[in-house]
Structure formats: structure tokens, C-alpha cells
Amino acid sequence: MNPSLDPHSDELTAIVDAEHHVQVSLAQALRDTVQAGKDAALAGKILDQLTTYSDVHFLSEQLLMRMCGYPGYDDHVLDHDHMMERLEEARHRHDTGAQPLTLTETEALLTLLARHIGTQDRVFADYYRAWSRRETESTGQRSSTQPEHCL
């Protein structure tokens, strides 16, 4: 996410949505690769990308939550941490050759991610939009009530 963007703009929520699409696409690609029985190296590469991308996305989402004083922050972060643990464990098992990725595991990761986006992320997006509207309105009111000599 570009830190120079106006935190009150709709562009920011559009970027978060776009990041969710990338996350889900990577999780689907991982599931499809394992399902097709393609080489394990490719599955490992996609898993690496999904893990790294998710880590960055979760951190930027958490930054937004802190910025607007989101009351569900702790619960939401627990979900992020749980997902990162699952991804890191899968990556570790894959990298050490302890256990190849299974279809069941990749489907579970996809389900977990889709559920998070459809629940926790949706609730936060609603909260963020309402907060952003209030902030924009109060900023507008403040500037229109300033004494004339301040203009």
C-alpha cells in the first residue's frame, strides 16, 4: 500500500480490495498446482509468494486499523497471526522436505483466507469507511468555521 495516499480516500479501500484479490488468486493457484500434481518446486514458490504477500498485506491493514482506532483490532490481529502461523508451518514442512503440501491443506488455507476476507475484513472495511466519512466531514466543518483572518 502506498503510504503517501490520503488515508480518507476511497482509493485506499480499493487498494485493500485489490490486495485481497491477489491473496485469493495466489491461494487458488497453490491449490490448483497441488491438485494437478505439478512439481513441488512450483508449489513451494507459490507458497512463498502467498506467505510474503500476506505478511505485508496484514501489516498494512493493521496500520490502517491503528490509525482509525478500530475497536476490533486485537481479534482481527489474532486471525492474521493464526493465518501466518499456518502459512509458515506449511512452508517450513515443505522446505525441509518433512511433508509435501497436500490438497486438503491448500484447500483449508484457501477457505481460511476467504472466510477472513468475508468476515473480519468486511467488518473492518465498513468501520473504516464510516470513520473516513466522519473525519472528512469534521475536517470540512473545521475549515469552514475558521475565523476570517485565518483564511
CB of residue 63 to Fe ion, shortest distance in Å: 12
Q: Phi, psi (5° rounding) for residue 73?
A: -55, -55
Nearest to Fe ion of 61, 105 (CB atom) = 61
Nearest to Fe ion of 36, 78 (CB atom) = 78
Closest CA to 30 of 119, 97, 112, 85: 112
Q: Phi, psi (5° rounding) for residue 100?
A: -70, 160
Residue number closest to Fe ion, CB atom: 121
Nearest to Fe ion of 100, 118 (CB atom) = 118
Binding interface with Fe ion (CB under 5 A) = 61, 121
* Distances, alpha carbon 21 to alpha carbons 16, 57, 101, in Å: 9, 11, 22
CB of residue 50 to Fe ion, shortest distance in Å: 13
